[in-house]
């Protein structure tokens, strides 16, 4: 599938935090490696599935872990971006949360701290896979990795794709990663959730993403929290197919990241 976007690229920009990241973080040697942390405590999902999607900002702000502990205690599924792992070992949080956590490490520091997408579920996954972007971001020179997991749900199989989209590149390179995301969705016969930080900071990216998701039957959850530091654009989204959306809202009271968590509740069709 090829997406053609008629758009003139604006001048590229680099935000001050990127310079800090460049000095602190380096690409993980095997960015597709998966870490399995903690254990699922439920044999199956209940009548509904509650979830959050949240970019944790590498846990830089005070209160991030207490917020995550509180948020994850009330959901069955958590899709985290820029999650953190210390020394490749499970944190006590992973063990006590009652969720199975799977992380795709993307960046690392000299202190053996890694970051990347991390998906938690109260039900054990039946499959997990990390998929690298075909292109690399400037400055750090690393591909972005999104995380694919599947779970038994409603008599079928639920596909979950946890996304942190490639940033600071051309729309054409962004489109290549979007194609990678929707390929597994198109091949999957059951319900799907695609959630995360899509870095849709301009209209070209936004319209391309929206069309691609619609082409594979995904609808967007109508919950968002624009922020001025992101050019007043919405970066975080949840898309779904084959599910009934019961409720959704941005959790604007959470201040421990530069992104606002999105909360949603689904039921089988």
Helix %, strand %, coil % for the chain, to 5? 20, 35, 40
| Strands of the 192-197 sheet, one edge to the other | 127-136, 143-153, 156-164, 192-197, 236-241, 219-220
Has residue 53 been placed in a domain? yes
Distance CA 34, CA 18 (A): 25
Give me 12's structure tokens. Answer: 């590229």
What CATH number corresponds to the domain at position 201?
3.60.10.10
Q: Does 193 map to a domain?
A: yes
CB 185 within 8 A of CB 157: no
Q: Which of 1-5, 40-44, 252-256 has the lowest mean pLDDT?
A: 1-5
In a domain, 190, yes or no: yes
What pLDDT does 230 receive? 67
Quick one: pLDDT band at residue 55, thresholds 50, 70, 90?
Answer: very high
Q: What is the pLDDT of residue 21?
A: 44
| 172 belongs to a structural domain | yes
pLDDT at 7: 36
- Is residue 262 classed as helix, strand or coil in its secondary structure? strand
> In which band, very low, low, confident or very high, does the pLDDT at 79 lie, cut at 50, 70 and 90?
very high
pLDDT in the model for residue 26: 67
The whole-number average pLDDT for the span 13-31 is 50
Average pLDDT, integer, range 74-81: 97
88 and 65 Cβ atoms separated by less than 8 Å: no
pLDDT of 4 higher than 50: no
Number of domains in the chain: 1
81-90, 107-116, 117-126, 195-204: segment of lowest average pLDDT: 107-116
User: What value does the mean pLDDT take over residues 63-82?
Assistant: 94
DSSP SS3 for 206? helix
Which two structure tokens, joined as six digits, stand for 178?
């979007």
Asked if the structure places residue 109 within a domain, the reply is yes
Q: What is the rounded average pLDDT of the residues 139-165?
A: 92
The residues pairing with 190 across neighbouring beta strands, listed in sequence order, are: none
Q: To which residue do tokens 């039921």 refer?
A: 267
- pLDDT at residue 20 above 50? no
Q: What's the pLDDT band for 9 if we cut at 50, 70, 90?
A: very low
What pLDDT does residue 176 have? 96
pLDDT of 29 higher than 70? no
Q: Is residue 68 part of a domain?
A: yes
Please state the rounded mean pLDDT for residues 204-219: 97
Domain housing 178: 16-268
Between 1 and 238, where is the model more confident?
238
Residue 212 domain-assigned (yes or no): yes
77, two tokens: 């599924």
**Residue 8 phi/psi, 5° resolution?**
-95, 120
Domain presence at residue 134: yes
The reported pLDDT for the residue numbered 6 is: 35
State the Cα angle at 163 between 117 and 120, rounded to 5°: 45
Contact between residue 185 and residue 216 where contact means Cβ atoms under 8 Å apart: yes
Cα 41 to Cα 58: distance, rounded to the nearest angstrom: 26
How confident is the model at residue 228, as a pLDDT?
61
Looking at residue 91, its pLDDT comes to 81
């Amino acid at each position: 599938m090829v997406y053609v976007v008629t758009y003139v690229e604006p001048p590229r920009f680099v935000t001050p935090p990127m310079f800090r990241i460049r000095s602190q973080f380096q690409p993980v040697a095997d960015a597709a490696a998966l870490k399995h942390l903690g254990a699922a405590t439920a044999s199956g999902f209940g009548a509904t599935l509650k979830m959050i999607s949240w970019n944790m900002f590498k846990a830089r702000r005070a209160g991030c872990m207490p917020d995550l502990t509180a948020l994850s205690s009330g959901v069955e599924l958590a899709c985290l971006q820029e999650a953190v792992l210390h020394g490749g070992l499970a944190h006590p949080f992973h063990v006590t949360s009652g969720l199975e956590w799977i992380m795709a490490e993307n960046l690392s520091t000299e202190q053996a701290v890694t970051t990347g997408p991390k998906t938690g579920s109260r039900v054990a996954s039946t499959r997990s896979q990390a998929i690298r972007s075909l292109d690399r971001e400037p400055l750090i020179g690393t591909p972005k990795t999104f995380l694919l997991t599947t779970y038994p749900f409603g008599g079928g199989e639920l596909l979950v794709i946890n996304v942190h989209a490639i940033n600071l590149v051309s729309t054409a390179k962004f489109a290549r990663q979007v194609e990678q995301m929707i390929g597994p969705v198109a091949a999957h016969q059951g319900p799907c959730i695609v959630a995360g930080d899509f870095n849709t900071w301009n209209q070209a990216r936004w319209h391309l993403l929206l069309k691609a998701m619609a082409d594979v039957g995904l609808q967007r959850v109508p919950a968002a929290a624009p922020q001025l530091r992101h050019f007043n654009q919405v970066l975080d989204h949840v898309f779904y197919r084959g599910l009934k959306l019961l409720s959704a809202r941005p959790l604007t009271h959470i201040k421990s990241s530069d992104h606002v968590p999105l909360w949603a509740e689904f039921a089988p069709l």
